[in-house]
Amino acid sequence: MNILGIHAYHDSSAALVRNGKIIAAVDEERFNRNKHTGDFPRKSVECCLNMGNINWDDVDMIACAGSPSSAIIARNFQLDFQRLKEASTLGDINKLTVKDYLKSVGKSMLGKTDKLSLAGLKETAALQPDALPDYLTLPQIPDNARIAFVEHHMAHAASAFFTSGYPEEDTLLITADGIGGRKSLVVWQVQNNQIKELYHVGGNGSLGWFYGMVTEGLGWWVGDGEGKTMGLAPYGDLTKVPEEALGAFLPRYEDGLLVTPYEFGVPTTYQEGSSYHWHFKDSEKIKTLTGAYERADIAARAQDLLEQEMLNIIKAWKTKTKAKRLVTAGGLFLNVKLNQKIIEADIFDEYFIFPCPGDNGLSCGAALAAYYAEHPTSRSKQIRDVCWGPSYAPENIKTLLDDRFLDYEIVDDPCEVAAEELANGQIVGWFQGNMEYGPRALGSRSILMDPTKAENKDIINAKVKFREAFRPFCPSLKIESSNRFLTVERPERYMITAYRVREEEIDQIPAVVHKDGTCRPQLIEKDIYPRFWDLLDKFEQKTGVPVLLNTSFNIKGEPIVCNPREALRCFFDTGIEVLVMENTVMRKKKRI
């Protein structure tokens, strides 16, 4: 059974799930090169079908995150009202009405519906199938392919639970983000593969909006800059900002229930390219705080407030449900410091965070929710990696370089060559195998460097990533060595949680230890990432350190590279010194 998962808004993506297994999943931004794109995931759909070796006739179901009244879905799949009306829904979604349909189609055709009569809308909708040129439409969905719509937070919940491998019993699910489907935080349990909601709040309880609003007040984009707020926080002193100065903007919970909402108002949404930005009116009030307090101190206070509030919510629901395991997803759980606090609180036997907790994970979630709803006896299967994107054959890379008259070398052992270059202090672009899904480079599209020299962090920030000096870098390390550097008892595979670095080892890997003595590690297991493990092993043989600085293969503000052409562009446009794509190696002149 082939289920195509679709998310067609901020951070749009597509996924292919076959018999409950994720075969392919890709972010549209990697193809259209517009970070956080909200475009319909047209290229991602094509990629998923290619990776699954199927065509449209083989698709049994299309599972869309969100509502049937989504104009972007109706238009791109050329769905008429009857088809949408017959679609199944999972979660708290109202059935589509004729009015909804006409409004959505009319809106997407003409931009505005305000002045259109129902008759006018009908006329517009009737024209719809032929109204788009061929190159803007996907092939018609086969008649036998069913369509399902999965509520936004339910798709988040499904993405995490059905990839955790946890049993239903004693497992608590929490999803939290800015907002999605009019909800910002939902508490769930699972019974017979049906995800059941226990509690939810709307925008006025949104911890994600609180953090986003602070981020905007500090001068960054909502929905993009939250990681910067988190990265800046350890440089600040939260005690310099009175709790009430920022706490006044924070929705408050007691016993896991919202008791003091904060009226954020409706955020203004506007588009830049195909990506969306949001503006909160009260961000101006936070901006004025930057006149009284250092930005880092404000970030530190905001981070602390977020952690305490969320932790209290989680503890309360742990008490109510007596759950032994926790599963989370939603953009709020991109906050690795929050995840660290949840783990350190040690209140659950196990804790799983979906590696793509943001909205790009919704395509997987929608497809998984649809699959498991129809297969109540199937059990959640733990994923081991997220390399679900396209790969490029070595011979195609060779042809690409030949066509551009570029000098390169083909090597038998790219790990040996890269390890030698890294040990000699070079910055290496590392392009191997299937691209990662979601926000992290995990050894398929990575920029690597020696972590043993503190100055390497500044060199990469300044010469390659072109980003703020306070932004930290993450380590990838052999799992066998994790206890030497960290106190971690989980196979931490996705750089989704921060950990304290053992004090006596900080000097060994200073370029990947943040200001507060933590790092966001990826532990490499030989059977999951054989080539990356081999590279780390060879680097260890040369330096004694089984760790590499691993940052995503892109520059600030751009999506991670997807194909070899983009890797070439990034290589020539930055201070990357060596590019290893599969078994080809290119070098610039030596910096040192």
The residue ranges that bind Fe ion (CB under 5 A) are 177, 180, 359
Q: Quick one: angle between helices 152-164 and 362-374, nearest 10?
A: 70
Instruction: Pick the closer one to Fe ion by CB: 365 or 414.
Output: 365
CA distances 171 to 195, 339, 361, 369, 370, Å, are 11, 17, 20, 17, 20
Task: Give the C-alpha separation, 233 to 242, whole Å.
Answer: 15
Instruction: Pick the closer one to Fe ion by CB: 177 or 307.
Output: 177
Shortest separation between residue 356's beta carbon and Fe ion, angstroms: 11
Shortest separation between residue 477's beta carbon and Fe ion, angstroms: 31
Instruction: Pick the closer one to Fe ion by CB: 209 or 539.
Output: 209
**Closest to 203 (Cα-Cα) out of 130, 278, 138, 94:** 278
Shortest separation between residue 152's beta carbon and Fe ion, angstroms: 6
Instruction: Pick the closer one to Fe ion by CB: 66 or 180.
Output: 180
The strand ranges marked E within 159-230 are 171-180, 183-191, 194-201
Shortest separation between residue 187's beta carbon and Fe ion, angstroms: 15
Structural tokens at position 186: 């939902």
Shortest separation between residue 528's beta carbon and Fe ion, angstroms: 28
Shortest separation between residue 358's beta carbon and Fe ion, angstroms: 7
Instruction: Pick the closer one to Fe ion by CB: 161 or 499.
Output: 161
Shortest separation between residue 518's beta carbon and Fe ion, angstroms: 26
Q: Which helix (H) or strand (E) holds 552?
A: strand 547-552
Contact between 557 and 367 (Cβ < 8 Å):
no
∠ CA 103-107-111, nearest 5°, is 160
Task: Give the C-alpha separation, 225 to 230, whole Å.
Answer: 9
Task: Give the C-alpha separation, 170 to 510, whole Å.
Answer: 40
The strand ranges marked E within 332-386 are 350-353
Cα maximum dimension of the chain: 74
Instruction: Pick the closer one to Fe ion by CB: 180 or 234.
Output: 180
Read off the DSSP letter of residue 137. S
Instruction: Pick the closer one to Fe ion by CB: 177 or 385.
Output: 177
Task: Give the C-alpha separation, 466 to 308, whole Å.
Answer: 33
Instruction: Pick the closer one to Fe ion by CB: 358 or 475.
Output: 358
Shortest separation between residue 99's beta carbon and Fe ion, angstroms: 26
